Structure 1
């Protein structure tokens, strides 16, 4: 047994491509009646296509595939027809020439029709066709009624730098391609369809004020339900869905720290006194599960995804599936109008990438449809857990810790992986490619949910306002010192790393806590807050003007009132203080954090001459690595950089 354990510990880890290559399977969805399954599949070096499986016969048929691009999104129009768009997975942001387009096809591959242009948004070419909708027509991320030839799609207006200006709605006949616009007030930014698949809510934005308006079915007039600051929130709610009976379900944190799910009082235009579902320690995140015009349950996402079933039959089915698939989270999705015994099952854990199966409620049989990251073996992955620690000022911080597989779990070299955003939730209990790749190379991986992170209550979020490089940075250091005190990390072998805001925090970590971090890895990271406000005439940024005017001064810092603070928390201004080795990587076509963030900082560090800098530019990439070759190259560089500066032995 000892010899076997030793042999396993020296076995070669999974290749980098197992974590970061494009996966040949990209998900599946049941038809409304549950008899057919549509799946996104790429095989034999061909572009990702759309296949349909007849679950009664288990016969599969590729119904849509292009030679020059991939199928991006799709949805069932009805039981016999699919709507889909494209996404070119072989092209970086610099070289993108095409919009996603819109197409339809029957489930047997017949009656294919193009509905919207797929062409360069600025250059006219031979694909122009007056019979097609314009290139800026996009799928709506809501299924609709799925009982006719009609769907609702978005007609989006963009600014010159690609920001969303408005989102109009079109009712589209997928057989003849004819569309008519939906009337609405003000400048629409998002829509919500009701239980009949008809437009019922619109959210508008005027400067920084978001307003939610409801189309009253009795009066046929729009009325305002709520208005609130779009950037700082507070006092409003987020519409989630309409139930089968027309009830509106919303998410709100009014009068509480963590947001909860409510059944909104449409008659009186207010939240009810009691919530419907809350998640202990987490903001509500999830969706309704509706089948056969009945609300069966609610999909939730706390530390992991799960389901609260109201329906006893679904509770029993969940227990059966969990017995068949032990040790994993198993998410059951029934068809919306079932006429067959099939359910879709998504199964995953912290060590197992998501796999898709179908379950037959009559026979109790499961059949695997496909899996993400198919080269990954769960036995070779590390455990991932959520802890809660206290920052130096007493604020509670969630932190994710992923440990390498194997017996030795103490005093490990560690990578502190800082999430971007920063106003997002960073981690979840699932298989995470970046964390598991690093763990497979022998590193503990710490991912702090520092103040400013969302998903854990308004107190944590609001505590991060104007704290870039200050208390947000202290939270990351406090999390690191916690891992050392717990014996997880070797205090002499810790590297800090991250992308976007995480890249900023990496650089500020090296500046603020030079005794804590032995090296840093920054990709597409912000290096100066003032550069976010104005990146210069030569480097265009896609940050919206409204965000710079109303959001950034409150959440990050005002250029005039907080000028001294922005200077003190600028990695670019403090570059000479960095003495640890650095790996810097930037995208040449990045419009969120233009490359001059990276080049100016690189030049400043090199001019100071206090450290070694490894620089890489992926000229065709934007804000992150879209192409597998670049993901694999980058993480190969990370592996070598860490081995050189930390080592795992």
Structure 2
């Protein structure tokens, strides 16, 4: 019913003793906090097939979002044509079906006896705001279950008819009077839907264990993933992939994937119909590599791209058919290997044309791939969106990502490595205040979320805020992070918490040993798993960090496990956390008496990744142990605290808290 994951985000009072306070508008807000707390000007962007219009999801007051259409020929930006308040519905993605019609997905959540349950629905709307229609199938009073998943578009070309798409559908069986089954189909299937007329027909009949479908971009479903479940209905963590030969409806075995993260086996991501292959990832010498597998019956397998030090972890895709044109991996910086010679040459010329913006990403393309929508930025540049005409080689700026940061000096991000207690070199990124000597500074260790994630070089609003306030910030890619192979991942950051937290602690010691941090002004700030790491580091090394800021943290591993109890992913979560002495020893809420530093926590009460009761438990235990703690709760917000005011308040309070706690 939900796939539990801790999102890859990081975060960062006068001291008080208490359990919780509620964020309010009267709290002081500084201009720097407001500038960094403001959400990006564009949350998602898409280019029309003819290359003349851009659809943008933009933030609106509070934590809402709206769809606006920009005419790239005239420069006119229309008023919002679709909006979501964020309370609780959110507008998550919009993409063009035709030159005038846009398909958007809306997500929401509601409370149940199991906790918060997520729902999604998909709608289509004309670019002038007219003719909005629901594409998701509807349930009725005869339906024998809830339809949480409103479907996702997997092919934007369907059978060549303008506006027709292939979209997944969660089929729910129905009953009629007399208890006769009106519709027995159940599970995930695929429909062809005309986004204008709403005419629909089933392309792939539903299967109870179907979890994923991959099309070839030309209207044919070529790969299906079947998610294994136990007799009790819980997911097992195993997915069997099947494929079809061209023009054949029979399903044939392709691969088996064991495990959700750091799993083993070929994991298909895309189909190239011209080459008749599937691109996907699998292990090579302990690290993830990109392979291609023939879909002609032979399953001939070839290595496409591997790196000896890091995982190859992403595909570069472009155009209406999501054509695979390259792959990407991150060493000290994100690198791209293009398979398409023309795009390889174009990327090189863009790097020369955009000095100081080495991060160039292709966002979207027109149907003929002549007009490209790009993003370019760096560590000290939040980035800008551009429109490029490949024929005329003319490029114009669409808009900056964070206009409010113009004029605020940003700190350069330097890849570093430090030695852990067992001698292992741990990679990370050090951000120093602009113009700083880099010595004797107040400093923050900022472990990332996940735990299955990693930090990368580039702009990051959270460490940059603290750097702008005079702090040095070190983001360690501790063991338990992804991106460096299975040996680095260990068992994961919970089961192998002693190693992961040891690396985090060693990051703090390194800052002091290098003279970067003054020992009395060393703090730790983390979000999600990073918040867990911040609290657990204070258990293992009391006194190392003088102040702790934890945003949406896990605080008790058994409590976190129980959050998944009513969902089909429970056994996967259970196995991920594991059983044994590490659960008790690795739960900071059970060792609150060991935490001597003051603690500030933030949490949204609609968090579906980590329930707010985790922070409430920690605050209660700290208070009971006589510790200094404040919990700021944000009503109506989820794990990301995706609200300008909330983020601004969080930054301002965290900054004041750190300065007060460390006597600055």
Structure 1 alignment gaps of length 5 or more? 1-11, 159-164, 535-540
Matched, 1:302 2:318: no
Superposed, which structure 2 residues align to 1:448-459 within 5 Å? 448-459=476-487
Cα deviations across residues 431-450 of structure 1 (Å, max 9, x unaligned)? Answer: 11111111111111111222
Query: Which residue number in structure 2 is paired with residue 538 of structure 1?
Result: none
| Equivalent residue in structure 2 for 1:169, among 176, 185, 190 | 190
Q: CA separation in 2, counterparts of 1:215 and 1:305? A: 34
Query: Which residue number in structure 1 is paired with residue 244 of structure 2?
Result: 215
Q: CA separation in 1, counterparts of 2:134 and 2:577? A: 45
Matched, 1:385 2:414: yes
Matched, 1:570 2:587: yes
Superposed, which structure 2 residues align to 1:536-551 within 5 Å? 541-542=563-564, 545=567, 547-551=569-573
Matched, 1:188 2:210: yes
Matched, 1:338 2:368: yes
The offset of 1:489, in angstroms, is: 2.1
Q: CA separation in 1, counterparts of 2:493 and 2:298? A: 31
Query: Which residue number in structure 2 is paired with residue 73 of structure 1?
Result: 93
Q: CA separation in 1, counterparts of 2:619 and 2:48? A: 52
Superposed, which structure 2 residues align to 1:349-388 within 5 Å? 349-377=378-406, 380-388=409-417
The offset of 1:23, in angstroms, is: 3.6
Query: Which residue number in structure 1 is paired with residue 150 of structure 2?
Result: 137
Tell me if the contact between 2:94 and 2:104 (Cα under 8 Å) persists in the aligned partners: yes
Query: Which residue number in structure 2 is paired with residue 633 of structure 1?
Result: 649
Tell me if the contact between 1:228 and 1:236 (Cα under 8 Å) persists in the aligned partners: yes
| Equivalent residue in structure 1 for 2:428, among 389, 399, 410 | 399
Matched, 1:441 2:469: yes
| Equivalent residue in structure 1 for 2:603, among 574, 583, 586 | 586
The offset of 1:474, in angstroms, is: 0.8
The offset of 1:280, in angstroms, is: 5.2
TM-score by length of 1: 0.83
Tell me if the contact between 1:99 and 1:117 (Cα under 8 Å) persists in the aligned partners: no
The offset of 1:185, in angstroms, is: 4.6
Closer/same/farther in 2, CA of residues 543 and 379 from structure 1, 3 Å limit: farther
SS of equivalent residue, structure 1 residue 195 = coil
Q: CA separation in 1, counterparts of 2:583 and 2:250? A: 47
Closer/same/farther in 2, CA of residues 414 and 337 from structure 1, 3 Å limit: same
TM-score by length of 2: 0.81
The offset of 1:577, in angstroms, is: 1.3
Query: Which residue number in structure 1 is paired with residue 168 of structure 2?
Result: 154
Normalized per residue, which structure has more strand? 2
SS of equivalent residue, structure 1 residue 276 = strand
Q: How many residue pairs align between the two structures? A: 605
Matched, 1:241 2:270: yes
Closer/same/farther in 2, CA of residues 250 and 486 from structure 1, 3 Å limit: farther
Tell me if the contact between 1:500 and 1:525 (Cα under 8 Å) persists in the aligned partners: yes
RMSD, aligned α-carbons: 3.6
Higher RCO, 1 vs 2 (CA within 8 Å, ≥6 residues apart)? 2
Tell me if the contact between 2:270 and 2:280 (Cα under 8 Å) persists in the aligned partners: no
Matched, 1:16 2:33: yes
Q: CA separation in 2, counterparts of 1:99 and 1:257? A: 37
Q: CA separation in 1, counterparts of 2:106 and 2:381? A: 28
| Equivalent residue in structure 2 for 1:40, among 57, 80, 86 | 57
Closer/same/farther in 2, CA of residues 144 and 301 from structure 1, 3 Å limit: farther
| Equivalent residue in structure 2 for 1:202, among 218, 224, 245 | 224
The offset of 1:221, in angstroms, is: 1.1
Cα deviations across residues 198-255 of structure 1 (Å, max 9, x unaligned)? Answer: 2211212113221111133343111221123224654412212122514334333434
